[in-house]
Amino acid sequence: MNQSNNTIVSVIMSVYNGARYLRDSIDSILHQTFQHFELVIINDGSTDDTVKILEEINDHRIVLLNQENLGLTKSLNRGARISNGKYIARQDADDISLPNRLEQQVKFLNENPDIGFVGGSYLLIDENSSQLKIIEVKNNPPLLKTTLLKRNIFAHGSCMFRKDLFNDIGGYREEFRYAQDIDLWLRMSEVALPGWVESPPLYKQRVHLNSVGREKNNLQKKFAETAMQAAAKRINGTSDHELIADLKDCKVNNHKRFQSLSSETEKLLLENRILLTNAKGHIIRKNIVLKKQSLGDSAKMDFQFFFLAIFLISYIPQNLRIKISKIVANIFS
């Protein structure tokens, strides 16, 4: 259905084998307080129950595209091309948009014409939807712009941007199979400012702690580094063409940081990272309980033990951390 007459926001979602969380993710958009939107869903060659779930949802605001597997970047560009909205909002298929997300971001962009794209505070949640951490910063556009040159603070799925700006800079660069959002934010920031909605969290981003692919994670870091290096070249008035061309055949073993690590060491490092995140989540949840009720000395000592364990794991030398990671894992199990 063509909704171009009343569509202000086009929400773009690409899904590949995302059946587990898909229905909840879609429902979080369909139940927004802001209603002038379309939800463009690209089924990127899924082989699980994704197709069945999509066929069961009957809503005139959904535009569904089925295709062979092309990857996230190409899928998002395809969805953007057919979108009708003045603004484009992203939504990942395993994440949740809180009810007033679209309303708050549309209001922000309407009131700030110098802002090209906007994020907002968001929650990190685990596979079981338990809260791990809140990400929130101040809305300081110049500072947000310079921060992006060092690290990405925006959750891809939580952002909304102007479609005209997206088209003017050429959309997502399809050389970026990973970190396509960071490259997009950096290029947008060269012609418009980033913004941040300072409010309670608008989005829940799911972190898959127990299924983190080492190779994918390393490639994500490599592509993110390249995006920032390319931005630095453009700022200095030089072309980033060679850097981007090198991404075509980029493989994980090209990333120097991981060339000398054995498979067993890499596994231990991954387990250690998962352990740290789980433990931090446990501390956050226990801290909430401590604030709500008075606990005995034994419970307080338990909390202090977890905090001390995190401190030690984070700051002891890497070689020692690898050796004790399994021991610490047994303590937390």
Q: Which two tokens stand for residue 35?
A: 């209603």
Residues 202 and 324 grouped into a single domain:
no
Average pLDDT taken over every residue of the chain: 83
The verdict on 144 and 276 lying in the same domain is no
Instruction: Reduce the DSSP state of residue 175 to 3 states and report it.
Output: coil
Judge whether residue 295 has pLDDT over 70. Answer: no
Alpha-carbon distance values, 14 to 22, 157, 177, 274 (Å):
11, 10, 14, 26
Q: DSSP class of residue 252?
A: G
Instruction: Quickly state the pLDDT bin for 253 (edges 50, 70, 90).
Output: very low
Comparing 31 with 212, the larger pLDDT belongs to 31
Domain contains 2: no
**Looking at the DSSP assignment, which residues form a beta bridge with residue 42?**
14, 65
Specify whether 120 is located in the same domain as 196: yes
Using one digit for the tens of pLDDT, what is the confidence trace for 35-80? 999 999 999 999 999 999 999 999 999 999 999 999 999 999 999 9
Rg for the chain, CA atoms, rounded: 21
User: What is the Cα–Cα distance from 250 to 246, expressed in whole angstroms?
Assistant: 7
pLDDT at 222: 92
Burial class of residue 239 in the structure, from the number of CB atoms within 10 Å of its CB (0-12 exposed, 13-18 middle, 19+ buried): exposed
Q: Of 271 and 87, which is predicted with more confidence?
A: 87
Task: Give the model's confidence band at 263: pLDDT under 50 very low, under 70 low, under 90 confident, else very high.
Answer: very low
Q: Name the 3-class secondary structure at 12.
A: strand
280 part of a folded domain: yes
Task: Dump pLDDT digits (tens) for 187-238.
Answer: 999 999 999 999 999 999 999 865 445 667 788 999 999 999 999 999 999 9
Task: Specify whether 311 is located in the same domain as 204.
Answer: no
pLDDT of residue 208: 81
User: Does 29 fall in a domain?
Assistant: yes
Helix (H) or strand (E) holding 83: none
Domain match, 204 and 268 both? no
| Residue among 149, 13, 144 at smallest CA distance from 89 | 13
Q: Is residue 80 part of a domain?
A: yes
Q: Same domain for 84 and 197?
A: yes
Same domain for 315 and 166, yes or no, is no
- 59: domain CATH number is 3.90.550.10
Task: Check whether residue 159 and residue 25 sit in a common domain.
Answer: yes
The domain boundary, picked from 190, 210, 230, lies at 210
**Residue 1 within any structural domain of the chain:** no
Answer yes or no: is 163 within a domain.
Answer: yes
Three-state SS at 65: strand
Task: Flag whether 178 is in a domain.
Answer: yes
With respect to residue 92, please indicate whether it lies within any of the assigned structural domains.
yes
User: Which pLDDT value is given to residue 217?
Assistant: 79
Query: By residue range, what is the domain housing residue 74?
Result: 9-210
Query: Are residues 176 and 107 both part of a single domain?
Result: yes
- 50 and 186 together in one domain: yes
pLDDT digits (tens, 9 = 90+) for 77-134: 999 999 999 999 999 999 999 999 999 999 999 999 999 999 999 999 999 999 999 9
> How do residues 122-133 score in pLDDT, each as one tens digit?
999 999 999 999
Count how many domains the chain has: 2
